[in-house]
């Protein structure tokens, strides 16, 4: 068991899911929402690991395999550290 404090808005959301019958209890709702969040975080981890591998390959090979500034747009990456 892990005690948790939730802000009022989040608790209202959990209660609404229970009221609508999506989950049968607050505990079940929180377990389900945590599972969904964990899957999402895992997907982000996979993408981050792949990007890091690309950067490692670029460094080893001395060439850019992927230009994120072109792919994602210069505005998105402005002010975010260098790739060297």
Q: pLDDT per residue over 50-66, tens digit each? A: 888 888 888 887 776 66
10 close to 1: Cβ distance less than 8 angstroms: no
DSSP 8: H
Instruction: Supply 74's token pair.
Output: 């210069």
Q: How far apart are CA 1 and CA 49, in angstroms?
A: 31
User: Residue 33: its pLDDT value, please?
Assistant: 95
Q: What is the pLDDT of residues 2-23, one digit of tens each?
A: 888 999 999 999 999 999 999 9
Q: Cα torsion at 66, 67, 72, 74 (round to 10°)?
A: 170
Maximum Cα interatomic distance, the chain, rounded to a whole number of Å: 58
């Amino acid at each position: 068991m892990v005690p948790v404090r939730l802000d009022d808005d989040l608790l209202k959301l959990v209660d609404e899911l229970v009221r609508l019958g999506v989950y049968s209890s607050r505990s079940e709702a929180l377990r389900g929402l945590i599972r969904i969040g964990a899957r999402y975080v895992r997907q982000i981890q996979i993408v981050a690991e792949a990007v890091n591998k690309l950067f490692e390959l670029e460094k080893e090979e001395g060439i850019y395999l992927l230009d994120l500034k072109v792919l994602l747009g210069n505005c998105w990456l402005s002010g975010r550290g260098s790739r060297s």
